[in-house]
Chains A and B, each alone.
Chain A
Amino acid sequence: MTDYDVIVVGAGPGGSMAAKTCAEKGLDVLLIEKRQEIGVPVRCAEGVGRKEFEEFVEPDEKWIASEIENAELYSPSGHRVKLSADQAGNEVGYVLERKIFDRHLAMLAGRAGAEVLTKTSAVSMERENGSVRLGIRSMGEFQELTTKIVIGADGVESRVAKWAGIDTTLRLNEIESCVQYLMTDIDFDPTTTYFWVGRKYAPGGYIWLFPKGDNSANVGIGVMPSMADKPAKYYLDRFVRENFPDGEIVEVVIGGVPVKGAIDTAVADNVMLVGDAARHTDPITGGGIINAMKAGYKAGITASEAVEKGDYSESFLKRYDRRWMDDFGQTLIRNRKLQEKMLKLDDSTFDRLFKGIGDMPIGEMSVKRLALELFKKEPKLLWDLREFLL
């Protein structure tokens, strides 16, 4: 007998979905979070596509900061491409209040029957007779727990991955180094997300503005360390100075976003990884909330099947790999290739492309779709990208 069927490490959207799913399937599950407050500090721009998001949760105004209908993209010389929803009132995205949302999801897991512990870190992991002995430090007290399965939802810095022997180390062209300011006293349209692209703004990444209500917005940057000469903060500060000199910064958010694309496997004996720990973020947008929730759900389902069969081996858990790979894994692979092409574009190419395209309707918020539209304007690029357009 083990203390638990499943211990989930990390209470972000991926971990909480995993714990909730396990609990709903009747497993004994413990969800641990190293921070003393779930959802804090946030490491995220907080944007999600509406349609997929609503497959998981009923939207609640308590944690929806903004509803987004438009996107505006700017090239280095200021040429604008505007994307609008097909019909007015058909919002295409939400900007979340992650502090509240993450807590809400953890509470859903708790109400479904999961035990939840905050200020509790996993500090060691050893396999023993087909199960796992996990060392945790909870409010400063060390203890060892046994479990059949560990779900590592422990973020970009995942230790579970390292303990399990799954190499997810990111090279300097596989991560976006990000800083974001929550700013107030700046001008923007509260139904529009804004993006600035090109090396001038953000080498190997982009700058974004996501509204949070009418009076504040997340203004952030991601740069690729292999392409940037200076730290992310330098480029963001320069942008803010030039564009929002009178704005006030009321919060600083910092993070690393994996843009590696799909990893070969997110499982090992007794272990599954979800979300940032499994590098599930989209290589082009950097978005990761929905993939993490999908992965958490799939890991939870797989865990319940494994417990039923009494088989926690890597070969059994591989079905989790197949599940996420068949769902969003192919998109990760494709967008990684597309990103590699986009990184080669210089600023004058972006200017030319943006100038040629103007405004267009969108059914769904999709930077990838826009990228494809842009490339269609350039036959040479089109040839380069043929595999993505077929």
Chain B
Amino acid sequence: MKRLAVNRYKCGYCGACIAVCKFNANELVETYLEIYEDKCTLCMACVKTCPMNALEVVE
């Protein structure tokens, strides 16, 4: 099944991905980016926004 994956070595926990998510499918817990797979629609908004290329959809 497809899902959104965070590359924790690339993520700069800047929060840009949260600002563009209209499904409330992510949250920045201090420096840890949480993805809520039940809400994520794989719309790619956050993937395109991430300055560090830290987000990708994986099988």
Mark B10-51 against chain A: 1 for CB-CB distance below 8 A, else 0.
001111111111101001111000000000000001001111
Q: Give Cα A251–Cα B22 distance, bound, in whole angstroms.
A: 31
Mask: chain A, 149-167; 1 = CB below 8 Å from B; 0 = not: 0000001111100100000
A252 touches B16 (CB 8 A): no
Are B27 and A233 in touch, CB under 8 angstroms? no
Q: Are B50 and A231 in contact (CB under 8 A)?
A: yes
Q: Are A159 and B27 in contact (CB under 8 A)?
A: yes
Contacts A35-B30, A172-B48, A225-B48: A156 and B16 contacting too (C-beta < 8 A)? yes
The 8 Å CB contact of B29, one of A121, A231, A232, is: A121
Docked-complex contact A170 and B19, CB < 8 angstroms: yes
In the assembled complex, the Cα of A159 lies from the Cα of B13 at a distance in Å of 15
Q: B16 near A256 (CB under 8 angstroms)?
A: yes
Chain A residues in 8 Å Cβ range of B13:
41, 254
B52 within 8 Å of A (CB atoms): yes
B45 touches A172 (CB 8 A): yes
The stretch that binds B, out of A68-76, A175-183, A339-347, is: A175-183
Task: Check A254 against B51 for contact (C-beta < 8 Å).
Answer: yes
Are the CB atoms of B53 and A177 closer together than 8 Å?
Answer: no
Flag whether A171 is at the interface (Cβ < 8 A): yes
Given A162-B24, A256-B14, A169-B49 contact (CB < 8 Å): no
The answer to whether A258 and B29 have CB atoms under 8 Å apart is: no
Alpha-carbon separation in the docked complex, A233 to B16 (Å): 14
Interface residues of B: mostly helix, strand, loop or mixed?
A: loop
| Interface pair B49/A256, CB less than 8 Å apart | yes
Residue B14 contacts which of A43, A225, A234 (CB distance < 8 angstroms)? A43
Please state if A231 and B53 are interface contacts (CB–CB under 8 Å): yes
Q: How many residues of B contact A (CB 8 A)?
A: 23
Closest to A228 in B: B48
Bound-state CA distance A156–B49 (Å) is 13
Across the interface, do A157 and B51 meet the contact criterion of CB distance under 8 Å? no
- A169 lies within 8 A of B21 (CB): yes
Number of residues of chain A lying within 8 A (CB) of chain B: 32
Given contacts A157-B19, A255-B14, contact A177 B30 (CB under 8 A): no
Q: Which residues of A contact B45 (CB under 8 A)?
A: 172, 225
What residues of chain B lie closer than 8 Å to A168, measured between beta carbons?
Answer: 19
Residues of A within 8 A of B20 (CB): 169-172, 175, 225, 256
Q: In the complex, what's the smallest C-beta–C-beta distance from A247 to chain B, in angstroms?
A: 19
Set A35, A41, A256: member contacting B19, Cβ < 8 A = A256
- In the bound complex, CA of A255 to CA of B28 (Å): 13
Interface of chain A residues 248 through 286 with chain B (CB within 8 A):
252, 254-256, 258
CB distance from B17 to the nearest CB of A (A): 8
Residues in chain B near residue A233, CB distance under 8 A:
51-53
A80 within 8 A of B: no
Q: Which residues of B contact A177 (CB under 8 A)?
A: 16, 49-51
Q: In the complex, which residues of chain B have a beta carbon less than 8 angstroms from the beta carbon of A232?
A: 51-52
CA A365 to CA B14, docked complex, whole Å: 27
Q: Check A156/B19 contact, CB under 8 A, given A233-B53, A254-B12, A256-B14.
A: yes
> Are B24 and A179 in touch, CB under 8 angstroms?
no
- Does A50 reach chain B (CB closer than 8 Å)? no
Q: How far is the CA of A258 from the CA of B20 in the complex (A)?
A: 10
Q: Is the CB of B22 within 8 A of A256?
A: no
Given contacts A43-B14, A162-B24, A256-B14, contact A179 B52 (CB under 8 A): yes
1/0 per residue, CB under 8 A from B, across A303-328: the answer is 00000000000000000000000000
Interface centre among A121, A155, A175, A256 (most CB of B within 10 A): A256
Asked if B51 and A175 make an inter-chain contact with CB atoms under 8 angstroms apart, the answer reads no
Question: Smallest CB-CB separation from B48: which chain A residue?
Answer: A225
Chain A residues in the interface with B (C-beta under 8 A): 34-35, 41, 43, 119, 121, 155-159, 162, 168-172, 175, 177-179, 225-226, 231-234, 252, 254-256, 258
Write 20 A-B pairs (CB below 8 A) sorted by A numbering: A35-B30, A43-B15, A157-B15, A157-B28, A162-B24, A169-B19, A175-B16, A177-B49, A178-B16, A178-B51, A179-B52, A225-B45, A231-B52, A233-B52, A254-B12, A254-B16, A255-B16, A255-B51, A256-B17, A256-B49
